[in-house]
Structure formats: structure tokens, C-alpha cells
Structure 1
């Protein structure tokens, strides 16, 4: 592994990021054994405590297998990792960014449609009022990408929170992180979707009216264009 010393104070998150990049980039292949804690500490020029903490985190996201008394070996992330590595995957080059982006957006469309349906069913009155208020927050005129992105995130956070589904909420965080890593500016169709104030207002009204089926159908139509070839 081509490892450079960590600048300044030893920090486990710096080591964690470097190890994740080595694995996702393919420079360290599934089945390979990582160097020992002592060797990693020397290579990174940090103390072994930082190495140990970083390795625990890498194991927690499913990228390595730590065996007591044996070698620490790299796992095949395609079979062992979860959504928590999506952000790292988006910036590592392990998979072409365009493919990562398309996969993120496909998952986003599915989750959003189900979330609209569930929110219409389970949200409290206050939560439905928040959905309506955030929909009204979409810019009515020309706006920057940052303003559109902020408005869209506020709306979908309101919808997701109205589902009372923790997995949906954590998934939203991961999807937003992955899209941000690639850059919203690279996705003109996404910006166009963010700017569609009328359909977001219509969606919010359907959810507030507890018309889950129509809310799901409108969400599917609203998010479908970005998935077209």
C-alpha cells in the first residue's frame, strides 16, 4: 500500500479516510491482508491508538475483517458494505461517478415515492403543516443552485420525518451526501426538478390531504425524468 505520513497531529479519521480510499480504489484487493497495526502506525506516522480506532471504523462499515490473533483482511465491499460507504464510493473512483450518480438517483426515486405515500398516512397535523410550509419555500422566481438545493432538502426532510421511519431518514442523509460529493451542478435535470415549484406544491397538498396513492404517483412522475437515458 502506498501510504504517506499523516500531517500534524495523529487523527483516526484521517487514517480511516486513507484506508477506505485504498480499499475502494482497488489498490488493496479483497482477500489481501492489511499491514499490522505497528506497520500502519509507522507508515502513517501516527500512534497505534489512532490506527486501532480507524481499523474499528473500517470494520464497522464492512470493508475489513479483523481476526483475533490473525491477519486483518480486506472484504469485497460489493457484498459486505452498506449505504454508509456511498459517499466514499462517490469520490474514490472505484466505480465511475456517472454510474454511482445514476444508482443514487434510482434509489432516491424509489424511496421518495414510498416516503410520500407513508407520510400521507402517518404524519401528524403539525408534520403535514411543515410539509406544506417547506413546499411553499421553493423559490417562486430565478434562484441559485444553492437556493434550490436548500429548498428541496428542506421539503424532503419534512416528508421523510413525517414517515416516522428511521431507515428512510438515515438513507436520505446518505443519498444527499453522495449527490453532494459528485456535485449537483453536474446534473442539470436535477436542478430543473428542484425548480419545479408547482409540482412540489401539488405534491405537498396531496400529502396534506392524506391522498397517499396520488402522492406516490406524482412523486414518481416528478422524479422520473432524471432517470431517462
Structure 2
């Protein structure tokens, strides 16, 4: 079979994933120093550049602290890591995957409800038109899961863009990536929610009418019913 050479970036990804799992699982405890770059390179049987790249990513993820001329120490992820660590937490076993899924659903609902209200309040007329158009893209006869998930992401992206909240926009990106990594089918009722064209049309109409109370209620009906 044809074998492609392992590129440097792929090697650093493997090292990053392995060290992330060690940290999130608790096998590497907070404040514990990591082995030196040389020792890690020998243990992983890779070059030091790959180790350096992996450590840089760990630092960016809030999992380690790199001191100039000193040792790299493990940080407590609860106080330093970001949302992008959620999926790694589920796979490491540090937090039960069911807990991660439930928390993702809860955060998604809170963000979506508030974004719907803010969109009704702040969106420009052209943004409202995009929200309505996105709602009409939900199929009358639901098709494949991939089609539904793509349509749903377009709709909520339009709503969050209309809300004009950059933190919500970046949060939506992280939630979408996390849910995709875990699998939409593992979030109870999510696919049924995607398929509910009528509720999405009603929500879009409330947002277009700038009815904040109705937007809050309809978004809650849509996003909370499967998480109960």
C-alpha cells in the first residue's frame, strides 16, 4: 500500500494530544513539571521541534506554563483552559462524556436564547432578511443528517451575527466544533430539533418582527425541550 511520510505538523499533533490526555486525566497533576524537551523527544521518539510545537499549543490551550529558562509546569485546566478543551475532556475520561454533552446542550440553549433576543433588538434589516431566508432553508421533508446540521448552523450563525456579540460568535464556533466532534446523534433530541421547520420559521418571524419576548419564548421552546 502507498505510505505517505509523516509531516512535522502531524507529529506535533500526536504529541499534543498525548500530553493533553495526560494532563486532563490527572496523570500529570497541576504544578507538576513536565520532562525536559530532550526527555520528551526521546520518549516520543520525535525531534525537539515537534515537542516545542506541541508545548506551544499546550500553553495556548491554558494547560501548561512555560517559563523562560525554567521548567514547563502543568496548570489546573479548571482555572486556565478554554471551551476548546471540552471535547478532549470527554475523551480523556476526566469528566464523564454524558456530563460534557449535557453541559454543551445547556450552554447552546443559553447562548441561542439570548442571541435570539439580541438579534430581534439589534439586527439590521438586511441581517433580519438573512435570518428569515435561513429559516426557510430547513427542508419540508428532512433529508440526511449532514444536510440538516449544515442548514441549522447557517440559521444560528445568522441569528448570532444579528445579535452583534463577538463573544457569542466565537462561542458558537466552539460549540459547533464540539458537537460535531462528539456526534450530533449522541445529543438526545438534537436531530429532531434540526428537523422542526415550523418552530424555526416561527422564531425567525418573531425576530423579524423585533418581538423580543416571543423570540425568547420560541427559542426556549426549540432549544430546551430535548435537554430536559
The runs of at least 4 consecutive aligned structure 1 residues that moved more than 4 Å come to: none
For each residue in 1:59-96, what CA deviation from the matched residue of structure 2 results, as whole angstroms up to 9, or x when unmatched?
11111112233221111111211112123223332211
Alignment partner, residue 185 of structure 1: 185
| Structure 1 partner of 2:127 | 127
CA distance in 2, matches of 1:79, 1:226: 30
Unaligned regions of 5+ residues in structure 2, if any? none
How does the TM-score come out when normalised to structure 2? 0.91
Aligned length: 222
Deviation of the 1:53 alpha carbon:
2.1
**SS of match in other structure, 2:95:** coil
Structure 1 spans left out of the alignment, 5+ residues: 1-6
Per mean C-alpha deviation after superposition, the further-off stretch among 18-27 and 203-212 is: 18-27
CA shift in 2, pair 1:90/1:180, >3 Å: farther
Q: Compute the displacement of 1:191 (Å).
A: 1.1
> Match for residue 226 of structure 1?
226
Structure 1 residue 142: Cα displacement: 3.5
Aligned residue number for residue 4 of structure 1: none
Report the Cα distance in structure 1 between the residues aligned to 2:149 and 2:162, rounded to whole angstroms: 20
Distance 2:29 2:145 in 1: 38
Q: Offset of 1:36 from its aligned partner?
A: 0.4
In the superposition, the TM-score normalised over structure 1's length comes to 0.91
Supply the distance in 2 between the matched residues of 1:88 and 1:17 (Cα, whole angstroms): 8
Residue 169 of structure 1: how far off its partner (Å): 1.0
RMSD over equivalenced CA pairs, Å? 1.6
Equivalent residue for 2:8?
A: 10
